[in-house]
Structure 1
């Protein structure tokens, strides 16, 4: 018989809210990659060209960041210990994406979008690190199997 901890209420709250939060990232990624005209109408043609100019490795980073977080949230709700790995993969993807956007094309990013991407990305980093640490703590307590 395995010793599995009772599921605390906060796991359902954190898991549910994080899944909703990460679903917005998944929607943004999907609409951008599919070239949805209605969605992209909020951006200038030059901004739209920015999104389509990412090299393959930066797109892979973006995909890992987005889908790793969605998977991590779903696994958290399923009380699966692999949520920790999924959030770690998402952190790696976010780092790759940031290297391209902020490390290699910061001037273009600021010219096209202003300071919003820097602020929003900082928020994403804080939330994602918190989710990773939360999942790791819940796995250590035996809540995640």
Structure 2
């Protein structure tokens, strides 16, 4: 008897995988441009935000890096139908939550601390948790080996 992991991947795996690859690709791009201080990219960032980024402790930057890069690794593993995608996404979820918890407990300038500032972190958290849940479902269904 052929298991699902040996057969064809469901179409939704490729749809979710490619969309997640694009989403996480932008996250990796944002991380690299910010950490490398690309002039053209950073010109769009308000000076108050730059001051916040510059004040981040090393461990907070490490959490951001772990969240971004393990999310990308999770997508690659998902597309390769490797069940370790679940582990990569779980670690990414923990890192993302810890990173944004740190940001929520810092003194943000009033221009950055409003409700609209927290929309993107909420979306990032929701997408990362969604990717982890999807990978878990695919592993449970036998799609991931």
TM-score, normalised to structure 2, is 0.90
Deviation at 1:127, TM superposition (A): 1.2
CA distance in 2, matches of 1:49, 1:92: 25
Unaligned runs of 5+ in 2: none
- How well do the aligned residues superpose, as a CA RMSD in angstroms? 1.7
Residues 30-76 of structure 1: CA deviation (Å, up to 9, x unaligned): 00000111100001333212112110111111011111111111111
Q: 2:51 aligns with which of 45, 49, 52?
A: 49
Match of 1:28 in 2: 30
Match of 1:123 in 2: 123
Give 4+ residue runs of structure 1 displaced > 4 Å after superposition: none
Equivalent residues of 2:48, 2:109 under 8 A apart: no
Q: Which moved more, 1:2-11 or 1:32-41?
A: 2-11
Deviation at 1:109, TM superposition (A): 5.2
CA distance in 2, matches of 1:109, 1:29: 21
TM-score, normalised to structure 1, is 0.90
Say if 1:54 and 1:86 are closer, same or farther in 2 by CA, change over 3 A: same
Q: How does 1:103-122 map to 2 (within 5 A)?
A: 104-105=105-106, 107-108=107-108, 110-112=110-112, 114-122=114-122
Q: Does 1:91 align with 2:93?
A: yes
CA distance in 2, matches of 1:8, 1:70: 20
Unaligned runs of 5+ in 1: none
Equivalent residues of 2:17, 2:75 under 8 A apart: yes
Higher helix share: 1
Say if 1:71 and 1:55 are closer, same or farther in 2 by CA, change over 3 A: same
